[in-house]
Amino acid sequence: MKHTFQIEPMLTKEDVTMMILSAKKSSGLTWEEIAEKISMSPVWTHSACMGMNAFSEEKATALAKVLDLPNEAIDIMQEPPTKVWEQSIPTDPCIYRLYEIVGVYGPTIKALIEEKFGTGIMSAIDFDMQITRVPNPKGDRVKIEMSGKYLAYNAW
């Protein structure tokens, strides 16, 4: 007797990201509304939805409920991020400008951090970020506030 097995394809983080984006669009919810519903910041929520951070089981379950995602997506959302991104200069105008800011002001930021803290880095793991709109008569401003734990280089 011959047995046939049906193998279902496994979901990837990229598949789940596409599901999230599709469900978000269908729901009409903003990232701020989604984040509020799962009790997280909009910055962290979007980053995790894009696969750049891992959800806890509680937050993955909450997001799946908010966006009506399949249960299989919950486990995938908890997987550690691989943080793979394009290393070439981005072509999206908004992302390019952020890249340009780091290119122009990166050495200045590094020098000022080292003067204030010593030789080290700002953590992107123990990190907070807020994006707000600031009214201005010359045109509204985008305010990006970043706060990362200072990590001194260790000698060992």
| pLDDT tens digits, 95-142 | 899 989 988 889 889 989 999 999 999 998 899 999 999 999 999 999
* SS3 of residue 155 by DSSP: coil
Angle between helices 57-67 and 13-27 (to 10 degrees): 40
**Does residue 152 have a pLDDT over 80?**
yes
Segment 64-85, tens digit of pLDDT: 999 999 999 999 999 998 766 6
Reported confidence tier of residue 90, pLDDT bands at 50, 70, 90: confident
**How many residues belong to the chain?**
156
Residues 6+ apart with CB under 8 A from 68: 23
Q: Is the pTM of this model over 0.85?
A: no
Query: What kind and span of H or E run contains 153?
Result: none
72 & 128 share domain: no
Tokens of 117: 């803290």
Give CA–CA dist 130/44, Å, rounded: 10
Q: Contact, 18 vs 51, CB < 8 A? A: no
The domain spanning residue 126 has which CATH number?
3.30.1160.10
Residues spanned by the domain of 45: 13-77
Query: Which segments of 39-92 does DSSP mark as H helices, in order?
Result: 42-49, 57-67, 71-77
Any domain includes 21:
yes
Check whether 11 has a pLDDT greater than 80: yes
* pLDDT for position 62: 98
What CATH number does the domain containing 69 carry?
Answer: 1.10.260.40
CA–CA dist 43, 35 (Å, integer):
8
Q: Is residue 2 situated within a structural domain?
A: no
The set of catalytic residues is 97, 100, 123
How many Å apart are CA 15 and CA 73, to the nearest integer? Answer: 9
State the average pLDDT for the chain. 91
Is 143 inside a domain boundary? Answer: yes
